[in-house]
Amino acid sequence: CLGPLLALIALAVVLDDGFPVLFGHRRQARGGRVFRCWKFRTMRRNAEALVAELRKQNLCDGPQVFIKDDPRVTRVGRILRRFQLDEFPQFWNVLVGDMSVVGPRPSPENENQFCPAWREKRLSVRPGITGLWQVMRTRAPGKDFQEWIQYDIEYVERRGPWLDLRIIAMTVLNLLGIGRGPRAGTGTTGAQASSA
């Protein structure tokens, strides 16, 4: 059903900034197994090389990189991120068993090392396309990483079908602009805020 939309997005990515269409970042799944988390490429091809010089503009505490009006993001990338369309290829990760629709956002090993107890909890379940942190975070200065830990642990301890349905509903409302969303500035999901 999503085929025509995915084809249009892929064409837009190519026309804006060439190939590749997809970006696959190495993340950790349940138990620490490494897999490629796919998304439509929203950043310029040299984005990884620019991280070091842009890090001083980082608005996040902890291991993530979130830069307001990030110059690494392409024109099409801004639109895809605004509506989370860049995340659609992760449904492939769900189909092959690497991810779930709801769960803690998958992170690379270097980010998971920041808090060992948190790492063990979050790696005890399958990572998700959306999660409690994405719909509850505030983006308050100096609190983003602490909220990430708090909501990931809360999700693992409370997880179940009703909580998953609530998170999915809140995600849809946020995408439509009528949900709670990040309260301190405009933000993106965990995967989008990272240097990937």
For residue range 27-74, list pLDDT tens digits in order.
999 999 999 999 999 998 877 767 666 666 655 555 566 667 778 899
C-alpha to C-alpha distance for 43 and 120, rounded to whole angstroms: 30
> What burial class does residue 157 get, using C-beta atoms within 10 Å of its C-beta: 0-12 exposed, 13-18 middle, 19+ buried?
exposed
- According to the model, what pLDDT value does residue 194 have? 40
Q: Which stretches in the chain have pLDDT values below 70? A: 49, 51-67, 179-196
- According to the model, what pLDDT value does residue 70 have? 77
